[in-house]
Chains A and B, each alone.
Chain A
Amino acid sequence: MKRQSYDGVAIVAPFSTPYQRYSIETAHWWIAAGLRGSLKAANLKPADLDGFTVSSFTLFPDTAVGLTQHLGLTPRWLDHIPMGGASGVVALRRAARAVQAGDADIIACASGDTNHIDSFRQLLSSFSRFAMDASYPYGYGGPNANFAFLTDRYMTEFGAAREDFGRICVAQRANALNSPNAVMKKPLTLDQYLNARPIADPIALFDCVMPCAGAECFLVMRVEEAEKRGLPYARLSAAIERHNAHPEDPIQLRGGWTMDIDEFYEMAGCGPEGVDLLQTYDDYPVISMMQIEDLGFCGKGEGPVFIRDKDMTTNGDFPHNTSGGQLSGGQAGAAGGFIGLVEAIRQVLGQADATQVANAKRALVSGFGMINYDRGVCSAAAMLEAS
């Protein structure tokens, strides 16, 4: 059966907290701050919500359940989405179906994490069973080491150079300088990128995101509800998710998008050429490269050549990760799976201020998450349109 359309779904009230490198607050505190921001933007009270979904790594021992009581919510639809970088798109897809079906009227999709000194190390040690058994005992490089393998293989397989990944990072830094919430405030040159401190070869400092604290949130409701309340909204024209795709590949050079991409564009009613801006999940630039390929902007292995003559800044011909992404904005845990989506909502609503892409009518957002062992297991994508 063909997927049903997402007609009638409205995405409203995108909100991002400023990010902090370290915080003494808890994930609960940050999620509350994100949720509060979205509710305030929509002029709603907590009691108006009847649906809630949350993504967070540092909420332990709580889940979405504990948060209902902690935050005083009484939802009739509740979800907890532990999909890391794919969480935002997946939360949106599920919330969209719930409001279409009438299981809920107004759903808040929240994410947030804190970052205490040493909490990143503790997070790594309990990330997944396969990681505990089979990757962390081998140097404990965390995601840096895993993405070093993927980057190393990508470079060998397709003849890519570090400069190719550097272009992505440098453009995102330029975007971040226009984004008041971003953690990184200084410009970055390609030379600085290339000469940065090595972390896990071929990964160097500016290939890595900075773990920090922060929260991202948006609301999902039916179009009538948004219009009744006078709220500007974005539409969802297509969305896919896929988990553990291509398990037979000895190393990850492609993600789950490749399995569903034709249906995705058919549903969206356009191809890659119709996209005004792209938000990829960018915990490392090799993954952005992979998404640019797998989402059909160019063929497999052609990413480096494709971006070589593209301007990836907000004013360029291929606007990408317009708020600076995680590489320059910071990675607030699971909120890293929302940062591109929330920015994309702002973009199609025309609310992105200094990072606004002119005439942004259609934004493609892609998510990628959870290095369970040797590769990212979750992938997802959504097409947002201006209403």
Chain B
Amino acid sequence: MTTPLTPPPKKDPQKRTVSPTRPPEMRSRAALGLTAAAADGRFQLQQCAECGKVQYPPRDACAGCLSPDLPWTDVSPAGELIAETTVRTSTKLYFRERTPWRAGSVKLDAGPTIIAHVHGDVARGARVSLLNRLDRSGQGVLLAVPLERTPDMEDDPQMRALSSDPKHRRVLITDAKNPNAPALAEALAAAGSPIIFVAEPEAWLPYPGRERLLAVPGVEILPMDVTDTASVQKLAGEIGGKVDILINNARFVRPGGVLARGDTTFAREEMEVNYLGLMRLAQSFGPGMCSRTADGVNSAAAWVNILSVNALATTPDYGCFAASNAAAFSLSQSLRAEYRSSGLRVMNVFVGPTEDDWHQPLPPPKVLPEGLAKDVLRGLKEGLEDVYSGDVAKDLYERYRRDPKVLEREITMGNEGA
């Protein structure tokens, strides 16, 4: 049975913060398919398109018929733990610091034998299910868990290391005025986050939702505007060492493509908030978070960007806004690579049209704040990199995976124009 995590003691500033170490990162190109599947939470293995043989470890040619056509396919994650060990010494520092480490050999029902991490609640020789999760090097790894949920199973040290679970972690949400903010704060508090800092721009202007925010246990509203470098640096100086998860929820939306707008005024604002805001936050909060990724129960774990799904493929109705989100998406990928050596995860949550004034002209389905908050929480608990929130975002992502060029046409067709 998993021992539930207890709230961490107050940090002793005299003590040295443990330097982050990482599990092995190097992989072959084929093996990155596992990572890609883990990034948005799928369990997939290569399956030969010609003979159907399921492969593992990842290959460049089928071990049954030599076909090079080995698409990553959803297969059953069920199997049996046929052998196990508890590693008590390792030449790799990351594991050495975390021994004893349980690992096992799982005979998958789908065929191959898989060496996997083994959850503490799995009994010897038991039937197991494999989860495909990103480790602290950002690579997909497999964890054998019991078939049925067990109490506090997320607190298992191996499982926790593969997640960004907000339990006992302190969170900063930017932009208290975004309609999403109260729902996010409520969901985080319910998931066990003890302190939720919410950054408030332009504090002198009242806004709906402030009372609801203040009613959430652990919420502290603090001044910060992502367009104001000094205010970002100031807040980072005050609470930067206590932010374990940062949710960048600031957003500036106006409708319209290039020709619908007479000038670049709104576009500048969009870039200031959606793109440069992310950069300012990262430059002020990023280094501190990176240095605290091995800092015990409340180690820094994740950086969350809430982006429009139109960052992947634009629509002229919101063309300029989408462009600022595409810029932020690109920046997030750079940031992800820059953070990776520390183990800090960047999670992008791509949302479809949200239920707010600026998306009023669009037809449903739209994403409600509670729906978004639920998806953010799921992403954190499962340690994802990419989350698609709402039916529109999921639909657009499926089409994007199929063919980005076709998507570009189908999403922009139908405007008769001149």
A interface residues, Cβ below 8 angstroms from B? 120-121, 124-125, 129-130, 132-142, 144-145, 148-150, 152-153, 156, 197-203, 247, 250-251, 373-374
Q: Could you tell me if B107 and A200 are in contact, using CB atoms closer than 8 angstroms?
A: no
Q: Could you give 20 example pairs across A and B, Cβ below 8 Å?
A: A124-B91, A125-B26, A134-B31, A137-B139, A138-B103, A138-B141, A139-B87, A140-B24, A140-B91, A140-B94, A145-B103, A152-B84, A156-B125, A200-B89, A201-B86, A250-B107, A250-B113, A251-B83, A374-B113, A374-B115
Q: Could you tell me if A373 and B57 are in contact, using CB atoms closer than 8 angstroms?
A: yes
Q: Could you tell me if A141 and B82 are in contact, using CB atoms closer than 8 angstroms?
A: no
Give A81 Cβ to nearest chain B Cβ, in Å.
Answer: 24
Q: Could you tell me if B57 and A139 are in contact, using CB atoms closer than 8 angstroms?
A: no
Q: Could you tell me if A137 and B141 are in contact, using CB atoms closer than 8 angstroms?
A: yes
Q: Considering only CB atoms, which chain A residue lies closest to B58 in the complex?
A: A133
Give B365 Cβ to nearest chain A Cβ, in Å.
Answer: 39
B117 close to A (CB within 8 Å): yes
Q: Could you tell me if B88 and A149 are in contact, using CB atoms closer than 8 angstroms?
A: no
Give A341 Cβ to nearest chain B Cβ, in Å.
Answer: 28
Chain A residues with Cβ under 8 A from B105's Cβ? 149, 153, 250-251, 374
Q: Could you tell me if A141 and B57 are in contact, using CB atoms closer than 8 angstroms?
A: no
Task: Name B83-105 residues within 8 Å CB distance of A.
Answer: 83-92, 94-95, 101-105
> Which 6 residue pairs are nearest across A and B when measured between Cβ atoms?
A148-B85, A140-B92, A134-B57, A133-B31, A121-B91, A149-B83
- B-side interface size class: 35 or more
Give A377 Cβ to nearest chain B Cβ, in Å.
Answer: 13
B266 close to A (CB within 8 Å): no
Chain A residues with Cβ under 8 A from B115's Cβ? 134-135, 138, 149, 373-374
B264 close to A (CB within 8 Å): no
Q: Could you tell me if B90 and A138 are in contact, using CB atoms closer than 8 angstroms?
A: no
Q: Looking at the complex, which one of B28, B86, B116 makes contact with A138 (CB distance below 8 Å)?
A: B116
How far is B85's CA from A156's CA once the two chains are assembled, in angstroms?
13
Indicate whether A141 sits within 8 Å of B87 (C-beta atoms), given known contacts A149-B104, A250-B107, A250-B113: yes
Q: Considering only CB atoms, which chain A residue lies closest to B106 in the complex?
A: A250
Indicate whether A145 sits within 8 Å of B87 (C-beta atoms), given known contacts A121-B92, A140-B95, A250-B107: yes
Q: Looking at the complex, which one of A133, A201, A202, A250 makes contact with B82 (CB distance below 8 Å)?
A: A250
Most buried by B among A132, A141, A150, A153: A141
Give A126 Cβ to nearest chain B Cβ, in Å.
Answer: 8
Q: A142-B91, A145-B85 are known contacts; what are 5 more A-B pairs with Cβ within 8 Å?
A: A129-B28, A134-B58, A137-B139, A145-B103, A374-B115
Indicate whether A150 sits within 8 Å of B83 (C-beta atoms), given known contacts A130-B57, A138-B117, A139-B103: yes
